[in-house]
Amino acid sequence: MKICRFKGPYGPRIGVLEGRDTVADLGTATLKEIFDSANPKDHIRHLADQTRLSMPVGNLEFLAPVEHQEVWAAGVTYQRSKTARMEESKTSASLYDKVYEAPRPELFFKALPDKVIGHRGNVGIRKDAKWNVPEPELALVLNSHGKVVGYTIGNDMSSRDIEGENALYLPQAKVYKGSCALGPYIEIGSTEEQARTWAIKIQIWRNGQQVFGGETSVAQIKRSFTELAGFLFRSQEFHHGAILLTGTGIIPPDEFTLQDHDKVMIEITGIGTLTNTVTVV
Ligand code: DO4
Ligand code: MG
């Protein structure tokens, strides 16, 4: 079951995808209410039964699927990410090696909800960075108790030259205008076992030509979802729940950097495709 957030005539709304191309409006429902309900799928069905409004997906203006949920990210959860970061960083190679093996994962703050870019919005590359990449990631949707209730698609946009120069520059490499995109849908109710069968694919297009393509599998994520969520909720509270990106397993070749107007398409089988255009910020 897939839900989305979209621009309604009087403000943001939540909808549920019915069939392939229709979205039913879920009235005044909130994401927190859905995430924290005893059975989110039943709750969504109940809300959909009460609605009389549905519209074609093609007419929707998608919004990022977050209301008051902060976005956090896990790092170095794939072998591929560890190797690439050790190569890019002369000063901090051993940090990445250690965190990949350590019991405690790397977790960092990524975005406030109102700063998250939705499907078809513009993601940013910093004007003071020379080496910019998208990071296509599965995003866990967590309720206020830290339970995984759904999954969405995330793009953890990153400036590799800034991160590589000094690990203490990580927040500047990772948190800036347009650095986080989510959407278009939240897949509700799939188990971790099901999610681990999904593929993550990326295509980057420039002037009508594909300039990069890559694929990995959710099964390659080293840590379990409950382990990642458990660390995020340690000594921490998220009254509306939270989103947790699970790290990247696709790294473009070192000579690749994003450019203004590039189109980034991230597909996760089981969820859908998140499409964004790159802009210099
Ligand atoms: O350690 C830096 C960031 C790691 C990251 O974002 C990832 O592995 O996806
Ligand atoms: Mg990342």
Instruction: Please report which ligand is nearest the Cα atom of 85.
Output: 1
Encode pLDDT of 227-261 as tens digits: 999 999 999 999 999 999 999 999 999 999 999 99
According to the model, what pLDDT value does residue 68 have? Answer: 98
According to the model, what pLDDT value does residue 87 have? Answer: 86
Least confident of 36-50, 93-107, 212-226, 234-248: 93-107
Any idea what the Cα angle at residue 279 is, between residues 277 and 56, rounded to 5°? 30
Rounded to the nearest whole angstrom, what is the distance from the C-alpha of residue 248 to the centroid of ligand 2? 5
Alpha-carbon separation of residue 73 from 117, 220, 233, 242, 259 (angstroms): 15, 17, 13, 10, 24
For the CA of 76, the closest atom of ligand 1 is 8
Q: How far apart are CA 145 and CA 237, in angstroms?
A: 9
Helices (H), the chain: 31-36, 40-50, 79-88, 93-101, 160-165, 170-174, 192-195, 225-232
Rounded to the nearest whole angstrom, what is the distance from the C-alpha of residue 246 to the centroid of ligand 2? 7
pLDDT band at residue 184 under the 50/70/90 scheme: very high
Question: Given a cut of 80, is residue 175 above it in pLDDT?
Answer: yes
pLDDT band at residue 62 under the 50/70/90 scheme: very high
Among protein residues, the one whose CA lies closest to atom 7 of ligand 1 = 75
Among protein residues, the one whose CA lies closest to atom 9 of ligand 1 = 247
- State the average pLDDT over residues 26-53: 95
CB 196 within 8 A of CB 151: no
The whole-chain average pLDDT of the chain stands at 96
Question: Given a cut of 80, is residue 90 above it in pLDDT?
Answer: no
Structure tokens at 13: 């709304």
What letter does residue 159 receive in the DSSP assignment? E
According to the model, what pLDDT value does residue 268 have? Answer: 98
pLDDT exceeding 90 applies to what percent of the chain? 91
Question: Given a cut of 90, is residue 218 above it in pLDDT?
Answer: yes
Among protein residues, the one whose CA lies closest to atom 4 of ligand 1 = 75
According to the model, what pLDDT value does residue 85 have? Answer: 81
Give φ, ψ of 261 to 5 degrees. Answer: 80, -5
- State the average pLDDT over residues 200-224: 98
According to the model, what pLDDT value does residue 82 have? Answer: 77
Beta strands in 143-254 (DSSP E): 148-156, 158-159, 180-188, 199-206, 209-217, 242-245
Beta-carbon contacts of residue 100 (< 8 Å; ≥ 6 apart)? 76, 77, 79, 82, 222
CB 147 within 8 A of CB 215: no
- State the average pLDDT over residues 134-157: 98
Beta strand pairing call for 158-159 and 22-25: unpaired
Single-letter amino acid code for the residue at 100: Y
